[in-house]
Structures are given as structure tokens and as C-alpha cells.
Structure 1
């Protein structure tokens, strides 16, 4: 996931809005959004190369986590998997389910939003390891260190803020992510580009709606998955 915005406890109907594009090499294998069959309670796509995920929801725990990489450093294959960090945070168990700032340098460069109920945190290891609580508001991340300007993240943050301010239905944000006249958000490369656009919504009754739109090389549509998690935590 390379650009993402989080509206945390500011929309009148949707206390959580998470929207983002995952940019990746098209040849890297991945499974679409689904309920994992390993008993973990994770609903997410899956990176079939490393085994983790870039964005997901946990039920019945209600945790939501998303990660981006950070440009500027060559990945170290001996580092821990960022996707495994997301999976542990979602499950609430595992080596990195409750990481400290001292744990963060064990991963290649990343930015991450983690939401658990009414609390949200930013985790990053660029420019320095940091775990910071987030106040209610609209927050955005992309592939830049958190202390650096990022026009791409700011573009998406403004789009989400406009929806929040107007009280509009946030489902229109998926069209914003894939607009042909806005190449800053949607990458249409043949080798590397946007693989999927994902929208996670939680309403005031605690119900979730998750939509994932997937794309082939060149930005060609490759399917859509919609999942709902009810108050009783059933998934359909």
C-alpha cells in the first residue's frame, strides 16, 4: 500500500474511514481480499510471496492496520517482514503484536496506521523509530518519511477531508483513487503500478464494509470484492 488516508473519529456516520492504493510489481503473486482460513480472524488480501498482508481488518477484535514502504533505502532481505508486522498487529498475538520503538528497526523502512477500537497510532522507522497516538482527524501516509512533504499523501488527505466536512457517503473515494485524470494517486505502469484500491468503513454500530478493487498491468480492472462484518461479527 503506497498511499493511504485515515479519517479517525471525525465523520458523522463513519468513525473510521481508511482508503488507499497498493502499488506493487504486477508479477508479485497476491490473493484477493478474503477471510483467512487459518483461524487468525484476519480479513485481508495476502502477499503470496512473503505470506503477510498490506492492509486488513481483524474480527471479532475490530483492529485495522495498513502499511506503506518508505523510499530511499535498498531493502535488506535479512530484515523482518513488514507484512508479518501487519498480521501480528491484526491478530493481537505473535512477536510483534505489541511492538516497542526498539523493535521497529528490525524491519525495512515503513509507515503504518494501526486502529484498535477508538484509538489509533502511527508507527514508523523513518527518519527515526516512532510510535505516536493519533488525535481525531484526517491523516495520510505514502512512501516518504513522515517528516517530509508528500504531495501524493496530501492530495488524498484533502479528498478525504472534503468528504468528512460535507458528511457525504465516503464510497465515492474509491473513484477518486482510480480517476484517470489524477495520475498522482493511481499508477498505470505495465511492470509496476497500482494493484488494488481498498476502502474500509466502520459505522457507529461497529459494522464494517470493505471493498477491494483490483487491477492488471496498465490499470486494467481485474475484479472487485465486497465484504461486510456485522455487529455479531459474522462475515459475508
Structure 2
């Protein structure tokens, strides 16, 4: 998962709205989202190479998603798969204090990541590079491959678009939010971040939706919860030509809320 836009209690009918894109190599085998046979309360896609997931939710209202931190000079070839972090949390949710201690103890086992996690009305983001925890109070948030709300052009663009959407729309219209996540506008050269990859790659990765040779946005997911604790999941998948290959829709009532 490479970019998320989050609205926490910014719409009168929908206290949580998340719009997310997963960017990955096209050759990496992936299973579209669904309920997992081994964990029937868990809804999310599956990375068939390492067994984890990039984003998921549970019928009990727990949410987790992952973005990688782009810092190639710090990456290690023998690091564990970060997708396991999302799976571990959703299958064994625990008190936040003890969970953060666990993340702290294991932070060096993984390459850089941001982990969104928590009950849907009490979310936080842990950054293992900084060993930091930020709580998502009421507001709008953008999370990509640096810190929460880093002022990257695509983060600013997406946050503003989601804010405008919440101000103008009475209902959640997934197609409109999916169009937001399909934005391929690149940042101007002087606004590109400097993360350690070649400038040509900074340019290619500077849009909300990515489509390059061998790598790009493979999934867009819109997840929202209404004021009756009803949860909605809408996932759209893409192939290497950025063509739509499928839509998956799920709805469930959060139990034990």
C-alpha cells in the first residue's frame, strides 16, 4: 500500500472514510479482497508471495493498512515482509500500549514502514524509522512513503480533494472517490521529494495513481463507515495497462462496536 487519504469525523453521516491505492510490481502474485478462510472475520486482499496483506478490516471494526517508507539506502535484503504486520494486528488485535511496545521491539526486523491500526474510531499511525506514534484525531490525513501528512504534492492534492468531497457530497459515491485515486498528474520537478531514488523515478512515483513499466497501482480501495456502524468496502483492481480487471463490493454491520 503506497498512499491513503483519511477523513476522521469530517462528514456528518460518515465518521470514517479511507481512500487508498496499493502500488506493487505487477509480477507479484496477489489475491483480490475477500473474507479469509482461516480468519473469516477478516476482509482484505492477500499477497500470495509472502502471505500478508496491505490493507484489511474486521467485522469487529478493527482497521489496518501499510505504506512503505521510501529510503532505499536503509533497506535490507533480509528484512521480513511488512505485510505480515497488518495480518498480525487484524488477527490478534490487542491493547494499543502493549502493541506499540511490540512494534518498538521488532522495528529493526522490517524495512521502513508506516502502519495504520486501531479500532475504526480510534486510529493511530506507527512509523518504525522514527519509532513514533501519531493519533488520528478529527481531521484529514494523507499517508504515503514518508511521514504522516508529509507535504508531498500528491499528498496535498489528495487531502484537498477529499476535503472538498466531504464538504460537497451528501453520500459516499465510490466512483467519484475512485476517480480521485486515478489521478495521474505528476508533480513539477522543483516540488519532487528527494528520497534517494533517481529523479526520473521520483517523477514517475509523484502521482496518486502510478503506471510504469513493471510497477504501478494495482488496487484502489474505498472503505467507509456510516453513523449506524455499517461498514462498506469497494475495491477496484487494475492490470499492467491500468485497465480495470474487477470490482469487489462488501458490506457488513460492525459487531461489538
TM-score by length of 2: 0.82
Alpha carbons of 1:181 and 1:146: their partners in 2 closer, same or farther (altered >3 Å)?
closer
- 165-174 vs 24-33, which deviates more? 165-174
For 1:152 and 1:22, the matched residues in 2 are separated by: 15
Deviation string, structure 1 residues 67-113 (Cα, Å, up to 9, x no partner): 1101122532432321111111112359x982323433332101122
Partner of 1:92: 92
Whether 2:218 is the aligned partner of 1:195: answer yes
Alpha carbons of 1:156 and 1:115: their partners in 2 closer, same or farther (altered >3 Å)?
farther
Partner of 1:164: 166
For 1:43 and 1:169, the matched residues in 2 are separated by: 23
- 29-38 vs 200-209, which deviates more? 200-209
Alpha carbons of 1:27 and 1:214: their partners in 2 closer, same or farther (altered >3 Å)?
same
Partner of 1:228: 251
Counterpart of 1:154 in 2: which secondary structure? helix
Displacement after TM superposition at 1:195 (Å): 0.3
Partner of 1:129: 131
Q: Which structure has the bigger radius of gyration?
A: 2
Displacement after TM superposition at 1:181 (Å): 5.9
Displacement after TM superposition at 1:157 (Å): 1.0
Partner of 1:67: 66
Deviation string, structure 1 residues 189-230 (Cα, Å, up to 9, x no partner): 231011010000111111111011000002111111111113
CA contact (8 A) 1:105 1:129 kept: no
For 1:151 and 1:15, the matched residues in 2 are separated by: 26
Counterpart of 1:85 in 2: which secondary structure? helix
Partner of 1:109: 112
Partner of 1:176: 180
Displacement after TM superposition at 1:149 (Å): 2.9
Q: Which runs of 5+ in 2 are unaligned?
A: 187-205
The alignment covers a number of residue pairs equal to 230
Displacement after TM superposition at 1:119 (Å): 0.6
Partner of 1:186: 209
Q: Which runs of 5+ in 1 are unaligned?
A: none
Counterpart of 2:134 in 1: which secondary structure? strand
Counterpart of 2:13 in 1: which secondary structure? coil
Whether 2:9 is the aligned partner of 1:9: answer yes
TM-score by length of 1: 0.88
Structure showing the higher helix proportion among its residues: 2
